[in-house]
Amino acid sequence: MKIRSKLGPYFYILPALLIVLIFRTLPILSSFTASFTDYDIGGFHGFVGFSNYARMLSDARFWQSVLNTLFFVLGVVPAGIIIPLFLAILLRGELKGKSFYRTIYFLPVVTSAVAISVVWAWLYNPEAGPVNQIITAFGGEPLLWLREPRGIFEMMLSPMGIHPKGILAGPSLALVSLMIVSVWKSTGYNTVLFLAGLENIPTTYYEAAKLDGAGVWGTFRHITWPLLSPTTYYVLIMSTIISFKTFALVYVMTPPPGGGPLGTTNVIVFYLFQKAFDRFDIGYASAISVFLFLILLTLTIIQRKVAGRRVHY
Amino acid sequence: MMSLNPRATALSITKHFFLILGGIVMLLPFLWMVNTSLQQGGLSNYVEAWTKVPFGRYFLNTMLVTFLTVAGVLVTSSLAAYSFATMNYRGRSTLFLLFLSTMMVPQPVYLAPSYVILAKLGWINTYMALIVPWTTNVFSIFLLRQHFRTIPKTLYEAAILDGCGRLKYLWKVVLPLSKSVIITVLLFNVIGSWNSFMWPLVVTHSEELRVLQVGLSYFNQEQSSNFQLLMAASTFCTMPLIILFLMVQKRIVASYSRSGIKD
């Protein structure tokens, strides 16, 4: 009887613990050790020190995937904060049709990334897709969208005779097309988060601001923005992590082997996936995984430090 | 006071203008999807897409995997959360930290080693690989634990005096008191499981084991220029979750309006 009650708690936790240990902790630790090994389709070929990491440094395709991912994050995260915050401010308080709007905005969130990618690939289709049809109906030039490898700054500036090269050319239009879909898909979720945050701000603050004669911008700047910062901070971290993990959109809309036109939509997780499962280069893929993990860890730490100074709780 | 009204009306119109604009942007892709799926052949596009590849099989696979995964999550997560929330034992906080630490690492990071582990278990290309690793969910454990902790201890003591065992207490008292958080966990996991793509893409190869998302992705590659069929397939692949969501949305709206009346 006594033994049973002593062991009891462990029986409750055992099923979850087994799965966590075998399918989370073990592979997480393995990805660190595997990054120091030569491990391919033929199995384990011994430890190789840092040579997988050295290989990363000189792998142009890898650095391209890092740059593309940074472009992606820098585009998607700010847009994924500004647009939802604007919508949430509009939705705030008593409003006719509030739950109707919320439902519609949320539809892309619950829809699978694969289906959304199939649909958007059709919308973007250069020959018959609706997006180009609308553009030409308004007298604009049709674009190649997902098949356009040129950087967007290059495309915008070249009519003026300026031809930015390399990083300055910006993300390819193909990558920007993916960013648009990513923002479209996450807008509803972020809007709902911001709306919850806004409705937690006591209305007395706004009444006081009104009495003091504060304008719309002043109220936003001095009340809404600072008091909303815990939510903004949460949305910022979540969107950054989600953006770094982007895979399905790239895989379905700009299918392998390329990773988009001239590899311009090749992001880190896509590259990692190709190395691991097309080449079965587990050792090298694990080194890339560790790199990805370290970036995310660093970002979380930096954001936490910045937040410690700036966020008002 | 009268002068306020036109201003309020103007503000309200501006608000709705932007909100409707946003709504159109959100809805248009779905409308185009359905519209394209009905062009050149109408509903027969749906029949053709459905029969061209075994979508029926993919549906059954997805439903089976989702059902067993979510059932597993509910059982293992409630048990673990119950022990974390109500029991005192050695290593509890260490174990809890171990669980939480796995949430810090995104799945793609450990995808390749997971494949190797599944290969060693002989599970590659089996239902086991699709289901077993996802029969617990750390975030769900966390959510449930947070809620279980709010249930007063005195309730437990009273139940024990009445001769109620631990497991019975979980089943008869804790879970019924946690309906809303359980529904949250349930929906969260149903949506996650139904939409999961990278994992089934990696751990299964044969068509008999294909789930809906993987099937749709292959269909997209095979029929890349047959847009009517692609949109028909996208429509029937997304409909179940959209319908589920609309039903749940009604629930949320209803509970909102109920609490509104109470206030």
Q: What is chain B's percent helix, strand, coil content, to nearest 5?
A: 80, 0, 20
Which of A2, A19, A40 to mutate to test binding with chain B, by most B CBs within 10 Å of its CB? A19
Q: Which residues contact B32 (CB under 8 A, 6 or more apart)?
A: A119, A122, A123, A130, B231
- Secondary structure element (H or E) that encloses residue B42, with its range: none
> What is the percent of chain A with per-residue pLDDT over 90, rounded to a whole number?
59
Does residue B149 belong to any structural domain of this protein?
yes
| Contact call for A31 and B113, based on CB within 8 A | yes
Tell me, yes or no, whether B58 lies in a domain. Answer: yes
Q: Is the CB of residue A288 less than 8 Å away from at least one CB of chain B?
A: no
Q: Tell me the per-residue pLDDT of A247-289, one tens digit each, with 9 for 90 and over.
A: 999 999 998 776 778 889 999 999 999 999 988 899 999 999 9
The amino acid that residue B188 corresponds to is F
Give contacts of B87 with chain A, Cβ < 8 Å.
8-9, 12
Report the CATH number at residue B235: 1.10.3720.10
Which tokens hold the place of B249? 């949305």
Q: What are phi and psi of B152, to 5 degrees?
A: -60, 140
Chain B residues whose CB is inside 8 A of the A285 CB are 112
Instruction: Find all residues with CB under 8 Å of B159, minimum gap 6, and list them.
Output: B169, B172, B173
Per-residue tokens: A278: 């097309």
Chain A residues within an 8 Å CB radius of B108: 245, 247, 269, 272-273, 289, 292
- Give the residue among A23, A248, A7 at the shortest CA–CA distance from B73: A23
Query: Residue B70: which domain range?
Result: 45-262
Residues A113, A181 contacting (CB under 8 angstroms): no
Q: Report yes or no: B75 at the A interface, CB cutoff 8 Å.
A: yes
- B247 contacts B183 by C-beta, under 8 angstroms: no
Q: Which domains does chain A show, CATH number per domain? A: 59-310 (1.10.3720.10)
Q: Is the dihedral of CA B195, B240, A95, B9 positive or negative?
A: positive
**Which residues, in sequence order, are CB contacts of A305 under 8 Å at separation 6+?**
none
Contacts of A287 (CB under 8 A, 6+ apart): A35, A52, A53, A55, A56
**With a cut of 0.95, is the ipTM above it?**
no
* Interchain CB distance below 8 Å, B29 and A13: no
Structure tokens at B11: 């503000």
Distances (CA, A) of B121 to A26, B3, B132: 14, 75, 12
CB contact under 8 Å between A118 and B256, yes or no, is no
* CB-based contact, B17 to chain A, within 8 Å: no
Give the SS3 label for residue A215. coil
Q: How many domains does chain B have?
A: 1
**A296 at B interface, C-beta within 8 A:** yes
| Helical pair B227-262 and B212-222, crossing angle rounded to 10 deg | 150
pLDDT per residue of chain A (313 residues) written in tens, 0 to 9: 445 566 688 899 999 999 999 999 999 999 999 999 998 877 888 899 999 999 999 999 999 999 999 999 999 999 999 999 999 999 988 888 888 998 999 899 889 999 999 999 999 999 989 999 999 999 999 999 999 999 999 999 988 988 898 889 999 999 999 999 999 999 998 888 888 888 888 888 888 888 888 888 888 998 899 999 888 988 888 889 889 999 999 999 998 776 778 889 999 999 999 999 988 899 999 999 999 999 988 887 877 776 665 555 4
Cβ-nearest to A289 among B22, B102, B110: B110
Whether residue B33 lies inside any domain: the answer is: no
B178 occurs within a structural domain: yes
Q: Is residue B145 part of a domain?
A: yes
Backbone angles phi, psi at A228, to 5 degrees: -90, -5
Hey, which residues 110-149 in chain B have their CB within 8 Å of chain A?
110-117, 132-133, 135-136, 138, 141
Domain presence at residue B35: no
Do A122 and B231 make contact, defined as CB atoms within 8 angstroms?
yes
Q: Do B26 and A111 touch (CB under 8 A)?
A: no
Cβ atoms of A170 and A153 closer than 8 Å = yes
